[in-house]
Chain A
């Protein structure tokens, strides 16, 4: 009988979310006005739904595995490439950390370089240069043409004098 640890873990995750939602719901106000139900009613329904589907998924996972799984989508038959996953994640985290201080363009450069590395590119300097050019173009387009407010960050003096 097929039994997948990942399926069990995910089912427990859904159950856990349901339990967390129930815990939060129990602390929500319940007074209802004319409707007779308060802001905690639908959260309770959703928490109950998560608990039930979590239990259902767990039962499926233990009794022969999740039903009707699609054949592995393109590539899933290959082993999980943790380094690639890590590089893409690292790019996103660097972007998160940098965007407030270093600004949109430099954060975008780091993101682009990280993702490119994750997809197997072996030329970090070239990737960073392309990422910089792309982010700069996007920045100029959104700030200049669309008046969307994006942080210039450390490049403020440079971008400012360039009229962007």
Chain B
């Protein structure tokens, strides 16, 4: 415990240097500004802003990214409340009550409870992250290739098959992502796979191209094709931002409950913040003393889901930093940001690059404070951003989105790949196929293959190694249960 505290103190000495403070500040501001744009969720924000960091040192860049990550979440909630176009599934629950509050002229308190709730939940969740991470690292140091592979199978299964509306569509998305992940040169034998002689494909498919293609190009095609002639209605931000005493009284229990709902969901591979936000919403709906307000703008319905969203976003960093396993699309992109610097997150990182890891964790505390201090006063600017007409908005988004793909190899081939992923994103959006499994499959697939082959090399080709190692066997058993139990319940539970 004392050790953790010292490490964290040291982290603050890294995060609070003026230059890193500046990167954090730029990160939260840019992240919020881009996250506010309608249709731009945290995953796309992080992917689009990745090129900004190419020339930074790793610590500064990752601190900036932590800021962007938090800022994007915050910006998204502003859009959701004022415009009722949730940028991502995790904001849908907020939209239910938040937009109703804005319609009743209570946009100010709705934004305030979202912002302060995000701060409270984010800060508590960061404390939990600080306490939990060293414990997970301790455990993870015992993991060999077989354990990692089993853990990744567990992550694939929960993200693709267990959660979401359809197992078949989730699996299709996962296998697509795994297929994309195979493209390029096999790291272990040097064999070229699925590159078809195209030099740009030899490096493999960059997760940024996939994410930007699915989220930016796909979204632009979808919105143009189906909603370009529809008017959007922006709620006015009138009156005070201040929450009344009554608002505070109703908000803070919701924040706290939601933190403890959101954080655990973030740490397990549960596909992001969608489930905890809805869970928090229904908990608040059950516990409220003002049930008549639900559906017409109840403040608990904003406070809870927003806090859950942020707590889960922080929880996601636990498996990402300690195990190198992303459990949401955004985390997958953050992982690729690490990889761009040749850093592989995992237990060893806490020993070899303690400065970087603890600096990053400390910067999360700082980022939360910066967001709270900056954003409520700046909300007038964010509202201006929301007033950008949609033709200009999507034009601008695509100018930025294509830049990231083009700067990889200075080649139009990457732009063509981007368009193909855009078409794919369009179809997936249209036919309700989840995209997170594809993004996670792309980045986690190659890591899983490496661990799989390493495990078999160690065991001299004996495949039972995954079942004879106790930790690995346990992960696989839990995975099997997660698949079988719901199926059995559905099949026999109806009688």
Partners in one complex: yes
A149 CB contacts on chain B under 8 angstroms: 407, 410
- Tell me, yes or no, whether A161 is within 8 Å of chain B by CB: no
Contact with A along B182-217 (1 / 0, CB 8 A): 100010110101100000000000000000000001
Taking a contact as CB atoms under 8 Å apart, the answer to whether B179 and A21 are in contact is yes
Contact with B along A146-162 (1 / 0, CB 8 A): 11111100000000000
- Tell me, yes or no, whether B422 is within 8 Å of chain A by CB: yes
- Tell me, yes or no, whether B330 is within 8 Å of chain A by CB: no
Taking a contact as CB atoms under 8 Å apart, the answer to whether A119 and B221 are in contact is no
- Tell me, yes or no, whether B379 is within 8 Å of chain A by CB: no
- Contacts A10-B427, A138-B399 given; does A46 touch B226 at CB 8 Å: no
Taking a contact as CB atoms under 8 Å apart, the answer to whether A113 and B52 are in contact is no
- Tell me, yes or no, whether B400 is within 8 Å of chain A by CB: yes
Instruction: Tell me if B's interface is mostly helix, strand, loop or mixed.
Output: helix
Taking a contact as CB atoms under 8 Å apart, the answer to whether B182 and A42 are in contact is yes
Contact with B along A116-159 (1 / 0, CB 8 A): 11111100000100110011001000100011111100000000
Which single member of A28, A76, A95, A104 contacts B226 (CB below 8 Å)? A76
B163 CB contacts on chain A under 8 angstroms: none
Which single member of B182, B220, B407, B418 contacts A88 (CB below 8 Å)? B220
Pick from B7-15, B118-126, B168-176, B301-309 the stretch touching chain A: B168-176
Q: Which residue of B lies closest to A85 (CB)?
A: B225
Taking a contact as CB atoms under 8 Å apart, the answer to whether B171 and A35 are in contact is no
Taking a contact as CB atoms under 8 Å apart, the answer to whether B224 and A87 are in contact is yes
- Contacts A35-B456, A56-B168, A81-B224 given; does A111 touch B399 at CB 8 Å: yes
Closest chain-B Cβ to A18's Cβ sits at a distance in Å of 8
Taking a contact as CB atoms under 8 Å apart, the answer to whether B415 and A112 are in contact is no
A69 CB contacts on chain B under 8 angstroms: 165-166, 431-432
- Tell me, yes or no, whether A36 is within 8 Å of chain B by CB: yes
B431, B457, B458: residue with the most chain A Cβ atoms closer than 10 Å: B431
Alpha-carbon separation in the docked complex, A95 to B422 (Å)? 15
- Contacts A43-B193, A100-B412, A115-B395 given; does A33 touch B457 at CB 8 Å: yes
Q: How many residues of B contact A (CB 8 A)?
A: 70
Taking a contact as CB atoms under 8 Å apart, the answer to whether A68 and B412 are in contact is no
- Contacts A75-B230, A119-B390 given; does A131 touch B395 at CB 8 Å: yes
Taking a contact as CB atoms under 8 Å apart, the answer to whether B399 and A131 are in contact is yes
Q: How many residues of A contact B (CB 8 A)?
A: 80
A42 CB contacts on chain B under 8 angstroms: 178, 182, 445, 449, 452
Alpha-carbon separation in the docked complex, A37 to B61 (Å)? 39
- List 8 tightest A-B contacts by C-beta distance, closest first: A36-B461, A75-B227, A116-B391, A121-B391, A75-B226, A35-B456, A112-B395, A119-B391
29 A-B residue pairings within 8 Å (CB atoms):
A17-B179, A18-B175, A36-B456, A39-B191, A42-B452, A43-B182, A50-B176, A53-B171, A53-B172, A57-B168, A70-B165, A74-B226, A75-B227, A78-B226, A78-B229, A81-B225, A85-B221, A91-B395, A91-B398, A92-B402, A95-B402, A99-B412, A111-B399, A116-B391, A119-B223, A119-B390, A127-B391, A135-B399, A138-B400
Since A74-B226, A95-B402, A104-B403 are in contact, a sample of 5 more A-B pairs with Cβ atoms closer than 8 Å, ordered by chain A residue number, is: A39-B188, A43-B182, A56-B168, A70-B165, A78-B226
